Structures are given as structure tokens and as C-alpha cells.
Amino acid sequence: MENELLQELITCNNTKIAMIILDGLGGLPEVKGGKTELESARTPNMDALAEDSNLGLSIPVRSGVTSGSGPGHLGLFGYDPVEYQIGRGAMEALGVDFDLKPDDVAARGNFCTVDDKGYITDRRAGRLPSCESEKLISLISGICIDDVTFDVRMVKEHRFALVMHGDGLGSNVTETDPLMTDTLPLEARATNKDSEKTARLVNKFLAIVSEKLKNLIPANMITLRGFAQLPKIPSFKERYGLNAAAIAVNGMYKGVSRMVGMSVLPVHGESPADEFSTLESFWSEYDFFYLHIKKTDTAGEDGDFWRKVHAIEEVDMLLPRLTALNPDVIVIGGDHSSPAVMKFHSWHTVPLLMYGKYVRADCISEFGERACTRGSLGVIPAKDIMPLVLANSGRLAKYGA
């Protein structure tokens, strides 16, 4: 829906909305003619809810496009993921739980090896073990140059995320990784005027880091790439009038939620059951809850069909704890497909269930890809889900007389 129209129609009330996202939910059969992961899972609670719901299939970004989790979530949250793009560096920083602010500049970093002339001999410092990286990061994090601080946090092995915090920073800065060996790291260069300060300070930072690491072969230098700031994006409160909360275990999902102005709630533990406990604890405090399940995607990417099935079944068993709270609207869906047989994200449409007290139920008592094909929501862009959520919760006024 056009932003202006949405703004004109938004009203507020006391309804409660829950959006349960099973990461990479969509799947494929293991064998030709067989069932997908979701179809194979025993999901009596989802099936019962489906009976009273609308079913459909969502397109995360555009038809045929395999979506990353970032764009996939923007779509679910009602933001066109082509209009709002989260740069690589920002994504990396969100992924390691940086509380990235709108003016911060983030980048992806690598430890690398250089010879005594400064030429890169190994772009990944021999894939430095994470425990080694941790020690080095403590040496290069927290450096302050002029009024800008450089915070560094480990991602994995030789990879880290850098966040620059200060005034007057821009992210139009070229990468310092030459993407080949036997050459010097590149200088950072600003590609617009607003990023000149950033480039200048990045080069100073690199000189300081080089000095600090110089005797620490194999990780005696770093490269930086994917400089990015968060997109300027209206919050859930501004856009929908919703006080929204996020329940997620992994950094990136918390980060994307924070970016759209959700409160990120504490989860004691890492299991879906722990996340449902958080949901119960905070139920009275927010209008909208986004609850993220990671296991489904991890199993899909690992190619473990049955682990994905079991992850879905685990969520199904927890579902009565949600329905007991009597939400006005429940969405169950995914940010993209991750079929176990492909061991990767895919372009396939994603099963979608929308329960609401006033839905015109499809009376299909099954939640699965083929069942969703028969649903009345049809095949819709993920960004169209939120307007339907708002409608079903009575939060969109009549348009025109």
C-alpha cells in the first residue's frame, strides 16, 4: 500500500498481534512427488488454526528472487526490500548484535597477512581460529580518532564487524580489500563529499591497526569492505502506530527489528520454548510481537530435512501457549524458503497463515505449501502482509465515503 494511504487510514486500538516467523520455512520434497518439510511435519495445532484462517503464499522480494534474511524480514515487516536496502557492513554489524545507530557507519573486516613490504600474502590470515581473533580484536577495538570511535566485534574466524560512531560520517567509501594477493591493501576513498571524513579516519585507523598488529603474523593487518549505514526507515510506531516487540535469539534478527523501532525483549535461554516464555511475560506490554525461530533455516541450510521437520513440530507444540493468550491476529510464515534438498535459501514462495477473529476462513485444515496454494490470500508480496494484519486487527479505517 502507498505510504500516504496507509498513514491516512491508520487507527489505534487495544488489539494484540503475533507474527511467528519460522526462518526459511518454505521447502521442497525430498523425493519427487513427496512432501515438503512443513507437509511432513505433524502440526496438529497449526492445522487446527489453519481451519479458521486464511492461507496463501508469500513472495519475499520479487518473483524468482532468492532473498537473504534481511530483505526477507523487511518484506514481512511491510517495507519494500528493494526500496530499503541494508548494506553488507550494516548487516554484518547487526548480526553480531551491535546496537547500530542511524548515523553509524559499519563495515565488514578481515584479518589478513602482509609481508614486510606490506603486500598481502593471505587475505584470510590462514583462516585464523576464532579464539585467536578474539585476542586481536581486543587490541584494535575502542580506538578513538578525533571524535570518532572504532568498535570491532568478532564474527567468525578471520572475519569481524567494525562500527564507526561519531558525527558527520558517510558510508560512500571504497573497500580496502584488493580481493587478490601480492598487492598492497587499497586506500579507502570517499566517493561523495559526505564521506570524506569517514575515508580519512578509516585510513588513520588502518595505520594505527597496522602498527598494533605488525608482529602478530599471520594476522598482521586487516582489510575493510561493505561500508554501510542503516537505511532511513520509518519505525513501526510511525508507520503503523504499533508498539512492537521482537523476540529473537540471533543478532541479525534483533538488529533488523531494532532498526524498525521494535523493542528487543530479553530471552532467557535459546530455545523456542524460552522465546514463548518471553512472549507470555511481555504479552500485556505491547501491541505487536514478532517471534523468530532460527532452527528451521539452520536445518534447511545444513540439508537436514528431518531436523527441519522436527523444528517445525517443536514450534507447533508451543503454539497453544500463544493461542491461550487470545491474540486478535496471528501470522505464521517465513522470511524465505530454505529447502533442505537445496541446502540454501531459495526463491520459492513461502507458506503463510493469517488467523484473525474476522477472517473469512478458508476452512482448509492443513498448513503446508500445497494447502496454502489453495488458500484465499493467493500468492502475494510479503510486504502486503502487514496491511492485512492491520485490517484484521481493526486498525485500518474506511477509505472514502
Per residue in 84-114, is it b (16+ CB within 10 Å) or e — as a string?
Answer: bebbbbbbbbbbbbbebeeebbbbbbbbbbb
Strand partners for 311: none
Report the residue number, 67 or 278, with the smaller CB distance to a copy of itself: 67
159 binds a copy of itself (CB under 8 A): no
110 binds a copy of itself (CB under 8 A): no
Q: Is 378 helix (H, G, I), strand (E, B) or coil?
A: strand
Q: What is the number of other CB atoms lying within 10 angstroms of the CB of residue 250?
A: 18
Report the residue number, 127 or 374, with the smaller CB distance to a copy of itself: 374
* Distance in Å, CB of 74 to a copy of itself, minimum: 9
Q: Which of residues 372-391 bind a copy of itself (CB under 8 A)?
A: 373-380, 384, 387-391
Q: From residue 33 to residue 52, what is the string marking binding to a copy of itself with x (rule CB under 8 A)? A: x--x--------------xx
Q: Work out which of 122, 175, 301, 362 binds a copy of itself, going by CB under 8 A.
A: 362
Q: Which long-range contacts (CB under 8 A, 24 or more apart) does 77-85 make?
A: 77/236, 77/256, 77/260, 77/290, 77/386, 78/239, 78/240, 78/383, 78/385, 78/386, 78/387, 79/233, 79/260, 79/383, 80/383, 81/383, 84/231, 84/233, 85/231
107 binds a copy of itself (CB under 8 A): no
Report the residue number, 86 or 267, with the smaller CB distance to a copy of itself: 86
* Distance in Å, CB of 377 to a copy of itself, minimum: 7
Q: Which of residues 293-352 bind a copy of itself (CB under 8 A)?
A: 339, 342, 344-349
Radius of gyration of the chain from its Cα atoms, rounded to whole angstroms = 23
202 binds a copy of itself (CB under 8 A): no
Q: How many chain residues bind a copy of itself (CB under 8 A)?
A: 69
Of 148-156, 167-175, 320-328, 368-376, the segment contacting a copy of itself by CB under 8 A is 368-376
Q: In this structure, is the dihedral angle defined by the CA atoms of residues 367, 371, 372 and 375, taken in order, positive or negative?
A: negative
Nearest to 374 by CA among 39, 10, 78: 39
Q: Work out which of 40, 58, 69, 250 binds a copy of itself, going by CB under 8 A.
A: 69
Residues that bind a copy of itself (CB under 8 A): 1-2, 5, 9, 26-29, 32-33, 36, 51-52, 57, 61-71, 81-82, 85-86, 88, 91-92, 95, 339, 342, 344-349, 358, 360-363, 369-370, 373-380, 384, 387-392, 396-401
